[in-house]
Chain A
Amino acid sequence: NAGVMQNPRHLVRRRGQEARLRCSPMKGHSHVYWYRQLPEEGLKFMVYLQKENIIDESGMPKERFSAEFPKEGPSILRIQQVVRGDSAAYFCASSPSAVLDTQYFGPGTRLTVL
């Protein structure tokens, strides 16, 4: 019973490049949440998606960031024209339902922008 999968685990990009982070939720989970964690800080909510729908993107920067969760395949968090301030750990979590219950976190993608 595989847990939440994220890849890549580590990603290095130069300023101005694009970063694509993937998240495969646990089997049977159709709710995905993305969080960002800056070094030595807590996790900040970015976006909540269900299959093919963005439910809440209130924590996502208005520019350069986008997220999707297609009918088939993993959820993707895309960061265009990365800047040094985007360097962080990006975690996704999944849950089987929308009601408040346990969230299962993936191992995270550590993004470093040179």
Chain B
Amino acid sequence: GQQVMQIPQYQHVQEGEDFTTYCNSSTTLSNIQWYKQRPGGHPVFLIQLVKSGEVKKQKRLTFQFGEAKKNSSLHITATQTTDVGTYFCAKPTSGGYQKVTFGTGTKLQVIP
């Protein structure tokens, strides 16, 4: 199937540093979703981006959808230990319904 690649796979940062994860698709996306999964937890929906070049902010998190709608990024400013977890992007698959393909994920570790 069409994979969604995320980089980096792992990231260790000192608390207070910024963090960015990138999501890349080989095909144009109608929209993209982002999820966070804490260690031992379940995925929690963060946001959905639909428009080309869209930028959305949630407190210290900034989400961006590329102009060509083939890539997306999640940037966290001044990381905190509560940001620890794996961040997944997810793209819709054919069919139009909620079936999504999850990216490979970026595992974030914040060192206090």
User: Whole-angstrom distance between the alpha carbons of A106 and B103 in the complex?
Assistant: 19
Taking a contact as CB atoms closer than 8 A, the residue among B45, B93, B104, B105 that contacts A103 in the complex is B45
Instruction: List residues 75-112 of chain B with CB under 8 A from any CB of chain A.
Output: 88, 92-93, 95-105
The interface centre, meaning the residue of B42, B44, B101 with most chain A CB atoms within 10 A of its CB, is B42
Cβ of B43 within 8 Å of any chain A Cβ, yes or no, is yes
Contact: B104 with A42, CB < 8 Å? yes
The tally of residues in B whose CB lies under 8 Å from a CB in A reads 22
User: Whole-angstrom distance between the alpha carbons of A39 and B69 in the complex?
Assistant: 30
Cβ of B48 within 8 Å of any chain A Cβ, yes or no, is yes
Contact: B99 with A43, CB < 8 Å? no
Q: How large is the interface on A (under 10, 10 to 19, 20 to 34, 35 or more residues)?
A: 20 to 34
A100-B98 CB under 8 A given contacts A42-B88, A42-B103, A42-B104: yes
Contact: B43 with A91, CB < 8 Å? yes
User: Whole-angstrom distance between the alpha carbons of A31 and B31 in the complex?
Assistant: 20
For the complex, would chain B's binding face be called helix, strand, loop or mixed by DSSP majority?
A: loop
User: Whole-angstrom distance between the alpha carbons of A43 and B88 in the complex?
Assistant: 9
Q: Which residue of B lies closest to A100 (CB)?
A: B92
Contact: B95 with A56, CB < 8 Å? yes
16 additional contacts, CB 8 Å, given A45-B93, A100-B92, A100-B97?
A31-B97, A31-B98, A35-B102, A42-B88, A43-B102, A93-B98, A95-B98, A98-B97, A98-B98, A100-B31, A100-B98, A102-B45, A103-B98, A105-B42, A105-B43, A107-B42
Question: Nearest 6 A-B pairs (CB), nearest first?
Answer: A98-B97, A42-B102, A105-B42, A43-B102, A102-B45, A105-B43
